[in-house]
Amino acid sequence: MDASHSTTLLCFTLFLFLPSSQPVSDSSTLVYKSCASQTFHNPQSQYYSQTLNSLFQQLIAQSSQYKFFKTNEAINDETAIISGLFQCRDDMTRQDCFSCVNSLPHISNTLCENSIQARIQLDGCYIQYETEEVVPTGETETEPSKISSSNLLLHKECGEPIEGLKELMDEAFVILETGILKSDEYYYTTSYGSVKLMGQCEGDSGNCECSECVSDAVHVAKEECSGSISAQIYLGKCFISYEYHPGSDDFPRNPLPGASRNNNTERLAAIVVGGGAALFLGLILFSLLNSRLKKDDYE
């Protein structure tokens, strides 16, 4: 084996064992589900299922062009309608939005079979539907309990608490709330120091409604995820998220006593260990190839 082939083999082998530095992001990851306990039963379920599937197909078709769409379908006897919507994160491409929404009906039918209301939230998109009775003229409608209520907390995720982060986040939240209010848009993203923040409201929300919802979400984040390195807060009509990226000198980054390691810490440890193992293996291969080359020179 000549020197050039040996070097190529060594580089290729090392490449196979080096850890990837590219993060893996999957917009189809399930974040949470919300299913109504009330369900349709026979003989209603057949008509309900057909109407719901028709609604899903409409939403999927529209997701190839839009990142938010809302519509409704009348059930067979027309005494009730199913209203539904989907929304994708605004930073997604249309193709990614379509792929994300396309996976939602199957998940919904599996996790919330025959539920009269449901919301399935993935990392990149969500789908939501509600069933309402059609009120005859002259009768008073009874307001049903809806999962789209703007200030209703649907789900929260809090990261590892970090000492000194609370004060920084109080300042960062002011930037997020001000940005949402001034942008006159339902989506806003910004950075404050080493913190990246995002807020998004339901696509048909007005500016005031959106601003109020984001303020409610910020309040939940402060109360429930105080000092956490990251958080995701989902309300009925909006959600916010933020993530602090370690490595800055904003404040000492000592974890609070008793705090468990988060995924980022474990991932970093895996990279370090994996990198060390790859280097050790590389040294062994290099020594073997070097010995082989020296042997070839003497033959």
Could you give all domains of the chain from N- to C-terminal order, each with its CATH number?
Answer: 30-137 (3.30.430.20), 155-244 (3.30.430.20)
Per-residue pLDDT of the chain (299 residues; tens, 9 = 90+): 554 444 444 444 433 344 333 333 467 899 999 999 988 876 667 888 899 999 999 999 999 999 999 999 998 777 789 999 999 999 999 999 999 999 999 999 999 988 999 999 999 999 999 998 765 545 444 455 566 566 899 999 999 999 889 999 999 999 999 999 988 789 999 999 999 999 999 999 999 999 999 999 999 999 999 999 999 999 999 999 999 987 645 554 444 433 333 333 333 333 333 444 444 455 555 555 555 544 454 44
Q: What span, in angstroms and rounded, lies between the C-alpha atoms of 299 and 291?
A: 13
For the chain, the maximum distance between any two Cα atoms, rounded to a whole number of angstroms, is 104
Under DSSP, is residue 157 helix (H, G, I), strand (E, B) or coil? strand
In the numeric block, which tokens belong to residue 132?
A: 């309402």
Residues 259 and 160: beta-carbon distance below 8 Å: yes
- H helices then E strands: how many in the chain? 7, 10
Residues 254 and 161: beta-carbon distance below 8 Å: no
Residue of 252, 248, 253 lying closest to 194 (CA atoms): 248
